């Protein structure tokens, strides 16, 4: 079962209003109630902002399972935001490929992976594709190993295809598209094994190819010449924001001036982590070029 969001994924909505099964999802895609909006989205020239606003009105589901919504205050955004809690996995893995030759990509996927492509169609904007993989032994799948399994399929099984990773995650959305030629194969299933669930990291392996055991391999990997200092001794020495420039007796001075303030957010939401970390590191380096911790 897949959770349905009330009125699409627009920020003012997005509440879970119920669940649908795969059969209903297929019917909605083939006979879409928002077909006219989707056709406008695919054919009319519009700005990205207009396109996103229109897309946000279309029926939307959580392809990875059943969820319930709740509200939580975010210090980073200084407001209450809508969040989701997993209730039950759907035992499906959802993937999409953006900005591709739609028909050619479908053909290539089926040529290589027809045995595991359960559902496939054209994306809501008409410029990419989506597809579902059904996990036959779903009892091995849980919220803790879900992303490891998803990454296994993305990086190993579908290595020849440019799977979109910008909107991944257990609670990600799938805006239901319109596709009269939806592909469906009820017999296509995939099995996962313990090997596909484990993280591909030698530290977590009981044995590696060289025969070293886990503890010895961890020792080799973690050896470093760096010395880690206690955080309570480091923080007082950091310059958190660029000092104001001394302008002497002048009332004011108009000139370019590099300024940065290191901001440590209480929470960093998905999709903002890399940008936030880059900003923090750049501010740290700008304000502490001659920092010594001796």
Residues in CB range of 243: below 8 A, 6 or more apart: none
Identify which has the larger pLDDT, 244 or 171. Answer: 171
In a domain, 213, yes or no: no
Identify which has the larger pLDDT, 194 or 285. Answer: 285
Tokens of 23: 């059969």
Identify which has the larger pLDDT, 253 or 25. Answer: 25
Identify which has the larger pLDDT, 261 or 198. Answer: 261
Q: Which of 161, 192, 223 is the last residue of a domain?
A: 192
Same-domain check for residues 14 and 120 = yes
In a domain, 208, yes or no: no
Examine the pLDDT at 128 and tell me if it is beyond 70.
yes
Segment 186-210 shows an average pLDDT of 61
Q: Which of 69, 114, 62, 59 shows the shortest CA–CA distance to 93?
A: 62
What is the per-residue burial (b if ≥16 Cβ within 10 Å, else e) of 219-241?
eeeeeeeeeeeeeeeeeeeebee
Segment 115-136 shows an average pLDDT of 96
182, 132 contact by CB (below 8 A): no
Same-domain check for residues 31 and 108 = yes
Identify which has the larger pLDDT, 119 or 7. Answer: 119
Q: Is 278 helix (H, G, I), strand (E, B) or coil?
A: helix
Q: Which residues pair with 3 in a beta bridge?
A: 19, 62
pLDDT at position 142 is 92
Segment 102-124 shows an average pLDDT of 97
Residues in CB range of 276: below 8 A, 6 or more apart: 265, 268
Residue 283 lies in domain: 231-287
Question: Residue with structure tokens 């699409």?
Answer: 8
Residue 49 is inside which H or E element, if any? helix 48-55
Q: Whole-number mean pLDDT of the chain? A: 83
Examine the pLDDT at 203 and tell me if it is beyond 60.
no
Same-domain check for residues 153 and 11 = yes
Identify which has the larger pLDDT, 238 or 220. Answer: 238
Q: How many independent structural domains does the chain possess?
A: 2
Q: Which of 143, 166, 192 is the last residue of a domain?
A: 192
In a domain, 203, yes or no: no
Same-domain check for residues 63 and 131 = yes
Percentage of the chain with pLDDT > 70? 84
Same-domain check for residues 125 and 24 = yes
Examine the pLDDT at 48 and tell me if it is beyond 70.
yes
Q: Which of 154, 124, 133 shows the shortest CA–CA distance to 9?
A: 124
Same-domain check for residues 103 and 161 = yes
For 17, phi then psi, to 5°, come to -115, -5
In a domain, 244, yes or no: yes
pTM: 0.67
In a domain, 197, yes or no: no
Same-domain check for residues 23 and 74 = yes
Examine the pLDDT at 205 and tell me if it is beyond 50.
no
In a domain, 206, yes or no: no
pLDDT at position 268 is 78
Same-domain check for residues 119 and 251 = no
Residues in CB range of 103: below 8 A, 6 or more apart: none
pLDDT band at 141 (very low <50, low <70, confident <90, very high): very high
Question: Residue with structure tokens 């904007």?
Answer: 125
Same-domain check for residues 99 and 244 = no
* Highest-scoring range by mean pLDDT, 76-85, 97-106, 234-243: 97-106
C-alpha distances in Å from residue 136, one per residue of 22, 43, 118, 121, 191: 15, 38, 11, 21, 6
Q: Please list the helix, strand and coil fractions of the chain in percent, rounded to the nearest 5, in that order.
A: 30, 20, 50
Same-domain check for residues 161 and 254 = no
Same-domain check for residues 184 and 68 = yes
Same-domain check for residues 282 and 175 = no
In a domain, 140, yes or no: yes
pLDDT band at 217 (very low <50, low <70, confident <90, very high): very low
In a domain, 293, yes or no: no
Q: Which of 163, 192, 221 is the last residue of a domain?
A: 192
C-alpha distances in Å from residue 52, one per residue of 16, 217, 223: 20, 48, 48
């Amino acid at each position: 079962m897949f959770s349905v969001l009330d009125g699409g994924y627009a920020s003012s909505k997005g509440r879970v209003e119920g669940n649908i099964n795969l059969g209903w999802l297929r019917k909605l895609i083939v006979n879409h109630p928002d077909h006219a909006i989707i056709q406008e989205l695919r054919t009319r020239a519009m700005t990205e902002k207009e396109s996103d606003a229109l897309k946000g009105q279309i029926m939307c589901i959580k392809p990875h399972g059943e969820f319930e919504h709740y509200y939580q205050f975010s210090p980073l955004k200084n407001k209450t935001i809508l969040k989701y809690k997993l209730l039950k996995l759907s035992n499906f893995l959802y993937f999409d490929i953006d900005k591709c030759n739609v028909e050619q990509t479908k053909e290539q996927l089926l040529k290589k992976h027809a045995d595991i492509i359960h559902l496939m169609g054209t994306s809501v904007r008409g410029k990419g594709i989506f597809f579902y993989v059904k996990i036959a032994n779903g009892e091995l799948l849980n919220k803790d190993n879900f992303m490891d399994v998803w990454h296994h399929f993305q990086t190993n099984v579908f290595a020849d295809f440019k799977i979109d990773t910008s909107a991944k995650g257990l609670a990600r959305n799938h805006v239901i598209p319109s596709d009269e030629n939806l592909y469906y194969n009820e017999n296509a299933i995939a099995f996962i094994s313990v090997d596909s669930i484990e993280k591909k990291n030698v530290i977590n392996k009981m044995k590696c190819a060289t025969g070293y055991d886990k503890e010895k391999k961890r020792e080799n990997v973690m050896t470093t010449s760096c010395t880690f200092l206690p955080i309570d001794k480091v923080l007082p020495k950091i310059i958190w924001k660029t000092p104001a420039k001394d302008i002497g007796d002048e009332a004011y001075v108009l000139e370019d001036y590099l300024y940065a303030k290191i901001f440590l957010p209480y929470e960093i939401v998905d999709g903002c982590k890399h940008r936030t970390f880059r900003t923090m590191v750049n501010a740290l380096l700008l304000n502490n070029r001659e920092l010594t911790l001796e």
